[in-house]
Structure 1
């Protein structure tokens, strides 16, 4: 091919070593980007909807649960245990019998509540 037909920038940067973009830094930048007001409102609405759904499920199971880690629309960070929250679980007696629940049943219900807190994120 004659030199006059080759574009002047065809081999531009050919002497530099190729360094691919680190995908982890791209993902971190995307995650750490400041959110718009609309995005924050949408996120809070989704979180509220999820927490209400979990609380409804728990109330249908006979568990009176008051999430103590929620303050002004923000929950306790995922993975952190808040003992006051776990202590605020009141286990209602089984609807079929008037006998109180056994300690094993109460422990299982506390585990369900703790799992629900993790699911809410």
Structure 2
């Protein structure tokens, strides 16, 4: 079975392994969007797939002024918590991720700290 590749890949964690995986997941001449902020330091990222596939790499910062506005909206809306289908204590984080992977049984899964 051929490996699935994507026109656009959004990488939002900043983890080196995830950035490298984005290079594998994107199609030839596709686009990787690096969302958010990564530390201002050298990162061990595999550039070979990005270069050989002639990928476009775009960086975008995820926040500006909208965080304060979003918190205000959330504070005014009593129905926001209705999207949370499961809540787990931090000790059950592995189970929380397993439940979150199954969209047939979960919506938003929260790990309480």
TM-score w.r.t. length of structure 2: 0.24
Higher strand proportion, which one?
2
Larger Rg: 1
TM-score, normalising length from structure 1? 0.23
